[in-house]
Every structure is written in structure tokens, then in C-alpha cells.
Amino acid sequence: MKKILLDMDTGVDDALAIALTAAAEKAGDAQLIGITTCFGNVENTTAVRNSLSILSALGRTDVPVFPGSDRALAAKEKYIAGEECFLIHGHDGIGDAGFPLSEKAPETTDSVDFILQAAEKYGAELTLVPTGPLTNVARAIQRDKKTFEKIGRIVLMGGALAVKGNVSPYAEANISNDPEAAKIVLESGIPMTMIGLDVTHKTRIYSEETARWKTYGVTGTLFAEMTDYYIAFNNHEGCSLHDPLAAAEAIWPGTVGTLPFTVKVETESVARGRTYAVSYPDEGDSDHVQVGLTVSKTAVPLFKALLEEMLLSLG
């Protein structure tokens, strides 16, 4: 069974990725060994609180949560979530749906320490799934790249190769929040899979689907109202399943069709946060980043069905 470690800035789509991973574990396809947090959709302390609340709602208080980075690598001050974050994810980061606070406390071990401990313990069995800024991951590589490289697979949500960004014409939000960290990670030479806007915009969930969740008891209603907040931001035209798609590819390899590229990250110009591929040997000849470009037609219905089954069982 795959060991899954989620590294996230727990907002709405991160919460759905937690639920999907828990559903996959119930189906016998994966084991969620922990969640490490960072800033991004929300502040790091909020990401910790939200992770604990979502796990509690899913009946998974056994899963440990490890606090992580509260600012970008080059930032002197802690990250403070702005109005744009509230518009997308709600003031609490999970759709203002009213998830009860968990009584469980987070772990005292730092996220980076736990990532490296898990890499040492599980090795090739471990899949790391970063769905927020890559700050924790970059710090782990900087601290002990040799140990970090023992991780079996890395599937990250972030970037945009052949489509426009979602925070600027050039940049996707996770990369934009810490381009320096993304540069360290994506240009490290370590094999990884990048699930970016090229494919996440092709996977959507609609209010007709979340309406069914409201018949599945309190937990189903909480998840429905949380997701409906996200959908409303998109003018009720459904919302992209960014982080759940990365989790799905981590659990069921082949969900996303990929091609290998040498990926670089822009950190200096007006295009700061842009992810781009190079094609000349002097710019980089290590095609170590598998970039998602297509999505399996059967994958999205599968993981929507698993998520729905999980919520139904809780109801």
C-alpha cells in the first residue's frame, strides 16, 4: 500500500484532497501517514487548524499534522492572507462552512523534519504530494538532499506550462507564492511529476454533484457547503479540482498523461513565478520533470465516486 504524505496550505481544494486520500485508504489503495502544512491559501497556523478540522470531520484524528513554513524562503515577515484568499476559500480557508474545531493538537515536530524522517523510514514506499507553495520541500532538499532523494515519488500541484497562470498571465498561485523555493525543487534534478493548470483546469466539480452530498448527513453537508463556496467564486460554473487531481495521480499513477521536460522557474522579471520548459542542452538536459498534459477520461468519475462514497458512509 502506498504511503502518502500530503504537504499543503489547507484551503478548499486541499481539504478535498485529504478526503480523497482518506477514501482511497478506505478502499485499500493508499495509507495517509501525515499532513505537513505551509502558508498559501491561508496562513500556516490556519492550515494546521484546517487540516485537523477536516481530519476530525472524516473520523481520522489518528493522522498527525505537522506545522511548517509560515513564509516564503526569501521573505522576512510571516505570510498574511489577503482579501483575494478570502474570496476564493472563505475567511476560515475552508469555505466558511462551519467545520468544528478539532480537539487534537498538532505535532511538535517541524514539517521539514517529518518529511526527512518519513523519507528515511519509508523510502521507495513513500509518495510526497505537495499542493501548496514548495517551501517545505525546498527546505528539506537544502537540509539533506541525500535523504530526501530516498522518497519513491513526488507529485506536486503547481505551475502552468502551455496555459496562462491564475494569478498573473505567467504564474500559477503555488509557484508564485514562493518562486525561489519552486526553483530549488523543480531544478533539483530529482524526478517528479508536475500537475499544473494544464490539466487541473480540465477537471471540475459542479453544484449538481455537491447537492447530493447534502443528503449524506452533517459531514456531507459541511463538504458540500465548503465546495459550493469555491464554486460560487467561479460564477457557479464549477470549480477546478487542482489538489485532488494531484492526490489522484499519486494514488493511481497514470491518472494524468505526462511528458518529460527540463523545467525552469523565473524569479526575476515581470514573469516571476513562471514555469517554462527549455529545449537547448546548454540550458539544461535533465528531463526529470514529468509534466501533466492530459487527463484520463475514467479517472475523474472514479475519484468523484470514491469521495461521494466516503461522505455517504460518514453520513
Question: What are the catalytic residues?
Answer: 242
Q: Please enumerate in sequence order all residues whose Cβ is within 8 A of that of 306, keeping only pairs 6 or more positions apart, or say none.
A: 20, 23, 24, 27
* CA 23/CA 264 separation, integer angstroms: 34
The CB-based long-range contact list for 297-303 (8 Å cut-off, 24+ gap) reads: 299/248, 299/252, 299/255, 299/256, 300/203, 300/241, 300/245, 302/248, 302/252, 303/20, 303/23, 303/24, 303/244, 303/248, 303/252, 303/255
* CA 164/CA 278 separation, integer angstroms: 17
Running DSSP on this structure, what letter comes out for residue 191? -
* CA 131/CA 217 separation, integer angstroms: 28
| First-to-last C-alpha distance (Å) of the chain | 26
* CA 303/CA 308 separation, integer angstroms: 8
Helix, strand, or coil (residue 203): coil
Q: Please enumerate in sequence order all residues whose Cβ is within 8 A of that of 129, keeping only pairs 6 or more positions apart, or say none.
A: 4, 5, 6, 7, 17, 154, 155, 156, 157, 246, 247, 250
- Comparing C-alpha atoms, which of 228, 233, 225, 222 is closest to residue 205? 228
Query: Would you say 311 and 210 are in contact if contact means Cβ atoms under 8 Å apart?
Result: no
Give me the phi and psi of 56, to 5 degrees please: -65, -45
Give me the phi and psi of 126, to 5 degrees please: -90, 135
